[in-house]
Amino acid sequence: MSDIQSLKPSSVWKHFHAITQVPRPSGHMDAIRAFLLDYGKSLGLETYADSVGNVIIRKPATPGMENRKGVILQAHMDMVPQKNNDVKHDFERDPITTWIDGDWVRAKGTTLGADNGMGLAAIMAVLEDKSLRHGPLEALITKDEETGMDGAFGLKPGELKGEILLNLDSEDEGQLFIGCAGGVDVNVGRGYAEESIDADAYAAVNVVLKGLRGGHSGMEINKGRANANKMMVRFLRDVASVHGARIARMEGGNMRNAIPREAFAVLCVPKDKVDGFMEAVKQYAAVLADEFGTIEDTLSFTASACDCPCGKVMAADEQRTLLNALYACHDGVLRYIPTIPDTVETSSNMSIVKMEEGRFEAQFLVRSSSESMKTYLANTIESSFELAGAQVEMSGAYSGWQPDVNSPILKSMKEVYKSLFGQEPDVEVVHAGLECGIIGAAMPGLDMISFGPTLRSPHSPDERVFVPSVEKFYKFLVASLENAPLK
């Protein structure tokens, strides 16, 4: 028996453990979907997958609670697949290995999947428990939230009957989220010319930047964490001009909504400048330690000779153009909400960069609770790359969720929280893409709240869940269902 199954509440932790045993990286939903369908049917509940692959499970109201508004419990089934470079793990086949670290549960060198496995486990516990009091319930478990919210976008109007949606995908216990940012992917592509160099005159060098904290590009974009792509581009631009370094290939980041933790480049450096280049590596490592040392305490920036033959490299003028375009693009927080100055309004994340064999690709995720600022920032990135001759496409755009401070479910849940824990919950707007905005567009008039247990560093191998918060979260969920507003 896994250690985490001994934690409280056992009904939630046993289901979370079961979920960790089912591979479920975004884009590979078959196993987890089958697992959830089998689970719902084993309880004798109406259970099916809709036309896009979301799982829907319905549980009737308990006797005497039929007059309550129907509640939709919503979570997503996929997880972000991130691991440390020295860890062997196949997210499409291997279970997640968990361990208890004091008051936290973590995974061994990989993402934990508490985002959104804890919300999913809580839903499973509610569906199973026949002792709870609640009105009509529907579980909506969406597919591929992390890579574009495909399940939410595919939800058809009229598929669900509930009037209240409780999204269990937030990461700070004691906070009720009533609004979120919208977002758009900015996808950049361009071919580039390669040219041959004198292999006898150049040495191949492998440059590695690793050990960054990374994390969620919405929830943790305001924490000053370094972006591996931006840092590598900064270095490459400098050593290209001073030491004649030429790019054979470069790549960094692998998830649109994760702050990149690692970046790699193979460079060809003139042999008579290798010593100066290696000294530049040491100097840049010292600069990064000075700028980010209090935040990125495991940062590593190194270079070493490699076996890659120095044959073809990016043409010099193309290298300068593309590095300048990347260098110019904004990354990180652009603006805070003027009326809520401690909440991020607009940001971008230079998520993925790849240059190899004559092809350049980059992806940015722009977020904002302001539609006009979202468009503005996306257009600044587009402008930079159009000047560089690249093709730019916008995709996956989704609207934010506008807060309703007069929401009936908000009033009810604030009262419930205070009665349980003796204090008011915080009411917040989150700088992350929640499915509430998309689902709300498909089901106008839904009364929505997002909440959850305390998670830290989702989308990175440092992801962890605070054990004491899980019991409070589940107790609050159960009491909120019992006190749902009347029809």
Residues annotated as catalytic are 78, 145
Nearest to 397 by CA among 352, 366, 436: 366
Report the 3 state secondary structure along the chain.
CCHHHHCCCHHHHHHHHHHHCCCCECCCCHHHHHHHHHHHHHCCCEEEECCCCCEEEEECCCCCCCCECCEEEEEECCECCCECCCCCCCCCCCCCCEEEECCEEEECCECCCHHHHHHHHHHHHHHHCCCCCCCCEEEEEECCCCCCCHHHHHCCCCCCCCCEEEECCCCCCCEEEEEECEEEEEEEEEECCEEECCHHHEEEEEEEEECCCCCECCCCHHHCCCCHHHHHHHHHHHHHHHHCCEEEEEEECCCCCECCCCEEEEEEEEHHHHHHHHHHHHHHHHHHHHHHCCCCCCCEEEEEECCCCCCEEECHHHHHHHHHHHHHCCCEEEEEECCEEEEEEEEEEEEEEEEECCEEEEEEEEEECCHHHHHHHHHHHHHHHHHCCCEEEEEEEECCECCCCCCHHHHHHHHHHHHHHCCCCEEEEECCCCCHHHHHHHCCCCEEEECCCCEECCCCCCCEEEHHHHHHHHHHHHHHHHCCCEC
Instruction: Indicate the burial class of 1 (C-beta count within 10 angstroms; 0-12, 13-18, 19 or more).
Output: exposed
Q: Could you give the CA distance from residue 12 to residue 248 in angstroms, rounded to a whole number?
A: 49
Identity of residue 448: M
How many residues would you count in the chain?
Answer: 487
Identity of residue 114: A
Q: Could you give the CA distance from residue 289 to residue 291 in angstroms, rounded to a whole number?
A: 6
314, 368, 429, 439 from 339: Cα distances, Å:
47, 14, 12, 26
